Amino acid sequence: MVELAKGNTEVVAAKISQSIACEQLELQAVTSYPKSYNKMVEIAENEKRDQLRPLFYGLEKALKREILFLGFSNWCGGLPKIVVHFLENYNIKGKTIFPFCTLEGSAFGNSLFELKALCPHAKIMTDRACCTWLSCL
């Protein structure tokens, strides 16, 4: 297994932030996730099955922005639960969100439906949403 210096979503986020000159922020888990893919899938499946809400460090800076590019990887067919927790706790009302997603093969899965349900008062630019496959050597 190859251990990447940066995750796929972080790589895409860096490209977006460089090309439009915006600040790149990261949602960080309080309890860090393991590097093992199999263990990670097990954890993500538990989070999904038990509707867990993993704790994250504050991301107040994101609230100051009117437009957010929200990147995440497809986990078990949808949004990682830590992203769900973030969106439930922060008032995204009135903001414009451009979602982007990295994945293996399931494109956005359910994530855009989840996003709309979690942020009913945000403008979610699903017509401009982009999902990305990255090939890492």
Which residues sit at the interface with ligand FMN, rule CB under 6 A?
A: 7-10, 37, 40-41, 44, 73-77, 102-106, 109
CB of 94 to ligand FMN, least distance (A): 28
The DSSP output letter for 21 is T
Closest CA to 82 of 53, 113, 109: 53
Q: Is 104 helix (H, G, I), strand (E, B) or coil?
A: coil
Please, where are the H alpha helices in 21-134?
37-49, 60-63, 81-89, 111-118
Q: What is residue 96's three-state secondary structure?
A: strand
Closer to ligand FMN by CB, 50 or 104: give it. 104
Q: Least distance in Å: CB of 124 to ligand FMN?
A: 20
Tokens 């927790």 map to which residue? 85
Q: Which is nearer to ligand FMN, 38 or 93 (CB)?
A: 38
User: Which residue's CB is nearer to ligand FMN, number 54 or number 74?
Assistant: 74
Distance in Å, CB of 40 to ligand FMN, minimum:
4
Q: Residue 97 is inside which H or E element, if any?
A: strand 96-102
Q: How far is the CB of 97 from ligand FMN (least distance, A)?
A: 18
Closer Cβ to ligand FMN, 76 or 123, answer by number = 76
